[in-house]
Amino acid sequence: MLKPDVNRSGPGPLFFVCQSGFVMEKFVVHKFYRFCVVMAICGLWAATAAAQSSPITLHPKNGTAVTGTILDMGEQGIRLQLADGTYMDNPIPWGLLSQDDLKLLHNNQKAAPFVEPFIQIPRAEKLERTQVDIKDPPRLTRPAPGSVFAALAGSSVGLVMLLLVYLGNIYAGYEIALFRAQPPALVCGIAAVAPVLGPVIFLALPTRMRGEEAEAQAGPDENLEAAIAAEQAVPLPAAAAPKGGRRAPTQPVAVTAAAAAASGGKTFVRGQFTFNRRFFETQMPGFFGVVRPEADKQTDLTFKTARGTFLVNRISRISPNDIHIQVIKGHASEEIIIPFLEIQEVYMTPKEG
């Protein structure tokens, strides 16, 4: 009796015996699977052949019944091998077969694709097949009814829109304050507390005139105007006056609306006229040039502002917010910048003498 050598390295005889048995078992299983597949194919072929070789009876609509085995079939129809061993010359069209024959041939796998279009489906079955299960589509839930501001405050986009409207309301108050000559801080503060309503109220108010209430109570300060006019109109000595030059004014500037109207001049009062760039360019274009036209040489232009009254020699420059005027001060000329908001009245009067 052989004993296994425990000191020997590598697989022993027992390992090879077990491996051979495993290979043999695997080979037998594969053989069995192959046998089953072959038997299934043969059975299917035999069933098809039996179905084709079994005689059937067809009942064409335009002729007598025909009995035989299926010879061949196609799109034109079906041909049979008759019981006496002869073959049909022309196939029987599928449309001439009765519904019972078509249903019988429908069981044949080869004939099923040809006969299926000609089988009539009962109305009840057709309705059952074409019946559609209508389901309501998913719908969004409507939000709870509420105010517009509550709906806007319920989303981040709405909050941003409300913030932009609020800031635009404050900015509108600032522009209205400039337009109506009101304190911007006051108008913007009221616009912040009462949005929309505050700016609308200030827009409906008339333009506030600077110093208008003080003039209504105390009347015009003739001494102050005379002092300003005397400072602007210092007479030149006769020897120093250039030949053919413009004579400096020797009378103080104390022009009022009544005096301008009495002398046949024009008076422009803030509130009745809007003092801006277009106003001065259209009403007094002759005062913009270095050399005044003949029609305007005998006309004096006077500005009454919150800082005083100025006799204008020439309009040197004008911008969208202010006007630069040139006045005679002593023996020289001086350029003064006057914002449009400070101009209260403008007079165009004929020169005296």
pLDDT for 172 beyond 90 = yes
Specify the pLDDT at position 32: 79
Q: What does the pLDDT look like over 89-129, one tens digit per residue?
A: 788 888 888 888 888 888 888 888 888 888 888 888 778 87
Do residues 340 and 350 lie in contact, with contact meaning Cβ atoms separated by under 8 Å?
no
DSSP tag of 340? G
In total, the chain counts a number of residues equal to 353
Which residues have CB under 8 Å from 197's CB, separation 6+? Answer: none
Question: β-pairing, 308-318 with 66-73?
Answer: unpaired
Structure token digits, residue 319: 């911008």
Q: Indicate the range of 192-196, 255-259, 323-327, 340-344 predicted with least confidence.
A: 255-259
Residue 239 pLDDT class (50, 70, 90 cuts): very low
Q: Distances in Å between the alpha carbon of 277 and those of 99, 124, 176?
A: 100, 90, 19
Give 229: exposed, middle or buried? Use CB within 10 Å, 0-12, 13-18, 19+.
Answer: buried
CB-count exposure of residue 33 (10 Å: 0-12, 13-18, 19+) = exposed
Element (DSSP H or E) covering residue 335: strand 332-339
Residue 288 C-alpha from the chain's centroid: 48
pLDDT digits (tens, 9 = 90+) for 268-283: 998 888 999 999 988 8
Helices (H) then strands (E): counts for the chain:
12, 9
**How far is 89 from 282, CA to CA, in rounded Å?**
112
- What is the token pair recorded at 33? 């699977």
Per-residue pLDDT, averaged over 298-312, amounts to 88
CA atoms of 350 and 80, how far apart (whole Å): 131
Q: Domains of the chain (ranges plus CATH)?
A: 52-126 (2.30.30.100), 148-204 (no CATH), 220-237+247-350 (no CATH)
CA–CA distance, 48 with 257 (Å, rounded to integer)? 125
Q: Can you read off the two tokens belonging to residue 86?
A: 């002869």
Give the Cα separation of 143 and 213 in Å (integer): 57
Residue 81 gets which letter from DSSP?
E
Helix (H, G, I), strand (E, B) or coil at 208: coil
Report how far residue 256's alpha carbon sits from residue 347's, in angstroms, rounded to the nearest whole number.
Answer: 8
pLDDT greater than 90 at residue 167:
yes
Question: What pLDDT does 19 receive?
Answer: 59
What's the predicted TM-score (pTM) here? 0.30
Residue 25: CB partners within 8 Å, gap ≥ 6? none
Q: Kindly state the average pLDDT of the residues 28-46.
A: 76
